[in-house]
Structure 1
Amino acid sequence: MMNSNFYNHGFYYPYGLQNFSRVESLPKIKTYIRILHASPDAPAVDIYANGTAIARNLSYKNFTPYISVPSGSYEIKIYPAGSMDKAVFTEKIELNPNSIYTIAAVNTLDSLQILPILEPATTSKPNFSMLRFSNLSPNAPTLDLTYRDNTKLFKNVEFQETTSYIPVVPKDHWLEIRDSLTDRILLTIPSVKLLPNKFYTIYTVGLLNSSPPLQILVPLDGASYLKT
């Protein structure tokens, strides 16, 4: 079993059992959120929604568990972990009812943003994996996600863009991240295991030709836990 700190060949699996201990099965009638820290140069943070802590000491590349929240308007404030002297970011967001979101802290620290990424409660295609791609690398070009033979799964994905899900064969996949304009391979991922009847988002994070380096996160999405 992969744990929440497994990293190899430029990819990172953050979905250890502790990340989903609260959501063995998500009912369709509620709104759920989890938080992703995807700002490559930001320190660990505490995040508050309408004055209530929803993430504490959340470090880069990590996700919180999903939590159930009422739909509506939320003022999100981000603080350096352990300090509430001055928020480094404040913004209002709207959460729709009966929805699932990954709320990502994105961009570099001096341009920090919050990006709500909707996870549609979509029924999976039987015996396939459901896959989508999200470009959260602040300095990367427009990206393609391809197979090893350059068959393109997703094309021209811009920074902060998340694609729709597509069905793919469940197995170990050799994937590549390519520059959409030049077709240059920016990252090779030799083995990404996708299971049948599960939902995944491949998030590209980090910095191209800098530190922390470009890599991917491959979490299970909340739709994997929906009752059908």
Structure 2
Amino acid sequence: MFICPYYSYESFYRMPEIDPISYIRFLNASPNSPAIDVYLNDRRIFKNLTYKSFSDYVSVPSGVYNIKIFPSGNNLNPILDKRLPISAGKIFTMSSIGNYPNMGLLSIEDVRRPKIPGKAFIRFVHLSPDAPSVDVKLPNGNVLFPNVSYKGVTRYLPVSPGKYTLEVFTSDSGKKVLYIPNIRIIPNRFYSVYAVGNVSRDPKLQVLIPLDGNSYLH
């Protein structure tokens, strides 16, 4: 965990305070990748993340970071080497995307927003490298998230708590590619439905539904 001391400066007037600490976690969403290690400024922060695995969140000071991904146990030839800004007071899910060895990195902000009493928030994240744009619907045909393309991240949608079934269709042909029953939604929580895997080959398309950090990180 990275810790940054907080300094306050006195002046004739007080500027609004911005928390200098942000939080990041990592998702390995590359369908055919080996287990990976993630380095931040040449320091390993996440170890042995297999496909579909999420790390815990770690705190980091804001700044520009060098992120490297290696096959687990190897730190000589990175699969990915990228510089990435991390803004102050934010929460991010960093995700490996694409197919190994041509992997990319997608930074997904877990947006902080006021909670609505008695409501939860849900969004959809399209990380399937060979899937076309999709529509996410309820069984009654109501469209929650239309025309979400690869690497697309929708806005959070407020919903009432309860159990939900989602159906995912290709936007162009209307073919159903996913059926997701019995998603349990608890009030005052933020959820992302991550679509990972492939439509045309193994590993097949499926979803991951973690609790996002904006539910409990302050």
Normalised TM-score (structure 2): 0.89
Give 1:157's aligned residue: 148
What residue ranges of structure 1 are gaps of 5+ in the alignment?
1-27
**Partners of 1:33 and 1:198 in 2: how far apart?**
18
**Partners of 1:89 and 1:226 in 2: how far apart?**
28
Alignment partner of 1:196 out of 179, 187, 195: 187
Higher relative contact order (CA 8 A, sep 6+): 1
Q: Answer yes or no: is 1:170 the counterpart of 2:161.
A: yes
Alignment partner of 2:51 out of 60, 69, 76: 60
The alpha-carbon deviation at position 209 of structure 1 amounts to: 2.7
Give 1:36's aligned residue: 27
RMSD: 1.1
**Partners of 1:217 and 1:124 in 2: how far apart?**
23
Q: SS of 1:175's equivalent?
A: strand
**Contact between 1:121 and 1:226, CA under 8 Å: does it hold in 2?**
no
The alpha-carbon deviation at position 85 of structure 1 amounts to: 2.3
Q: Answer yes or no: is 1:148 the counterpart of 2:139.
A: yes
The alpha-carbon deviation at position 123 of structure 1 amounts to: 1.3
Give 1:80's aligned residue: 71
**Contact between 1:39 and 1:107, CA under 8 Å: does it hold in 2?**
yes
Q: SS of 1:223's equivalent?
A: helix
Identity %: 38
Give 1:134's aligned residue: 125
The alpha-carbon deviation at position 223 of structure 1 amounts to: 0.8
Q: SS of 1:110's equivalent?
A: coil
Q: Deviations over 1:169-209 (max 9, x none)?
A: 21110111110112211010111111111000000000003
**Partners of 1:153 and 1:124 in 2: how far apart?**
19
Q: Deviations over 1:30-88 (max 9, x none)?
A: 20000000000100000101011111000000100000001111111111001112111
Q: SS of 2:31's equivalent?
A: coil
Q: Answer yes or no: is 1:122 the counterpart of 2:121.
A: no
**Partners of 1:130 and 1:63 in 2: how far apart?**
20
**Contact between 1:99 and 1:120, CA under 8 Å: does it hold in 2?**
yes
Which deviates more, 32-41 or 77-86? 77-86
Which deviates more, 28-37 or 56-65? 28-37
Aligned pairs for 1:210-225 within 5 A: 210-225=201-216
Q: Answer yes or no: is 1:93 the counterpart of 2:84.
A: yes
The alpha-carbon deviation at position 226 of structure 1 amounts to: 3.6
Give 2:174's aligned residue: 183
Give 1:18's aligned residue: none
Number of residue pairs aligned between Structure 1 and Structure 2? 200
Normalised TM-score (structure 1): 0.85
Give the counterpart letter for 1:72 in structure 2: G
Give the counterpart letter for 1:144 in structure 2: D
Runs of 4+ in 1 over 6 A off after TM superposition: none
| Structure ID, larger Rg | 2
